[in-house]
Amino acid sequence: MSKASDMLVAATARRPRAIGFSRDWITRPVFGVVLALIVIAAIYGGTPYLAVVVAATAFIAAREWQRIVGEKAVSLELVPTAATIWLMLAAFVLSPHGSAPYVILLCGALLVLVLSAVRRSRPLWRAGGVLYLGIPSLAILVLREVPPHGAWLIGALFAVVWATDTGALIVGNLVGGPKFVPQLSPNKTWSGTIGGVAAAAVAEAIFIAVIGGDAGAAALFGAVLAMFAHLGDLFESWVKRRFHLKDSGSLIPGHGGVLDRIDSTLAAVVALEIAVFVFHLDPLFGARP
């Protein structure tokens, strides 16, 4: 190799890392804003409207889950899975304080377990999908009904989740650095993870401060909730790696599948429900919008 070639190779090796901008930087925000507007309208429109959006989202997510664990998006187990979640949500809308939604969820999971066991088709994974999607779907409606400001509570939740995702994307691309858990999520970095937590803390503090609550306490809680959001993302990544898939689907440009979009929310909403009903946390930190 000539001296000139050696110099070229050395210069290339020292070239700074290019910032990871791509087409996703355009498509991801555009479709993210559209989806956010739909969710916001449903949240503040009332529980029945939110239930419709949750039901539609859960159906698509259920198809993707069946594809992940069973290689086919449309399977026999999809019918009872979707029916269970729809009936559960309908029962809650009709009677928010009744036990029917919980009974339906458990019976539906048991039905899918038995059906898939008879078919020898990964029964624990398929029945687990009913609970994985059903519990958070019900939790969103339960939190929406928390008096007297359930809509603002759900609004704060999504402010944290969206800020976590956006902060992680921007900081991770701009800063880069060591990978967080490369075995599960090759693109997730420590800088992006920390950036997502910081963004969530700021977003929650601003949201709560605007409606008159304690911004400091809200920032701390936002950071904690962001950690659960990251765990939700990592769990879905683990499931996909377990079945040798990169994305749950390709429905949403720039985001992958619906499960790729809601994985953080699935974990964060359950964490929020536990904080409210088990630890009796005031989720608005004194705010009374």
pLDDT score at 254: 53
Query: Distance between CA 242 and CA 237 in Å, rounded?
Result: 8
Q: Which of 216, 243, 227, 241 is nearest to 193 (CA)?
A: 227
Please check whether residue 3 lies inside any domain of the structure: no
Query: pTM for this one?
Result: 0.88
Instruction: Mark the ranges of the chain whose per-residue pLDDT is less than 50.
Output: 1-5, 7-21
pLDDT score at 255: 55
DSSP class of 189: B
Query: Distance between CA 172 and CA 197 in Å, rounded?
Result: 12
Q: Which of 56, 28, 42, 39 is nearest to 260 (CA)?
A: 28
Largest CA distance in the chain: 80
Please check whether residue 11 lies inside any domain of the structure: no
Alpha-carbon torsion (167, 170, 171, 172), positive or negative: positive
**Structure confidence by residue, pLDDT tens digits, 106-124:** 999 999 999 999 998 899 9
| Residue partners of 207: CB distance under 8 A and separation at least 6 | 155, 156, 159, 218
DSSP class of 148: T
First and final C-alpha spacing in the chain: 72
Phi, psi of 157 (to 5 degrees): -60, -50
pLDDT score at 19: 45
Polymer length in residues for the chain:
289
Q: At what angle do helices 190-210 and 215-242 cross, to 10 degrees?
A: 140
Q: What is the CA radius of gyration of the chain?
A: 21
Please check whether residue 289 lies inside any domain of the structure: no
Please check whether residue 78 lies inside any domain of the structure: yes
pLDDT score at 253: 56
Q: DSSP letter string over 258-287?
A: HHHHHHHHHHHHHHHHHHHHTS---TTTT-
Please check whether residue 14 lies inside any domain of the structure: no
Please check whether residue 97 lies inside any domain of the structure: yes
Q: Which range marks the domain in which residue 77 is found? A: 23-277
Which residue bears the tokens 């993707």?
Answer: 64
> 122-132 burial by CB neighbour count: b if 16+ within 10 A, else e?
bbebbbbbbeb
Number of domains comprising the chain: 1
pLDDT score at 32: 74
User: What is the Cα 248 distance to its own chain's centre?
Assistant: 13
Please check whether residue 286 lies inside any domain of the structure: no
Please check whether residue 138 lies inside any domain of the structure: yes
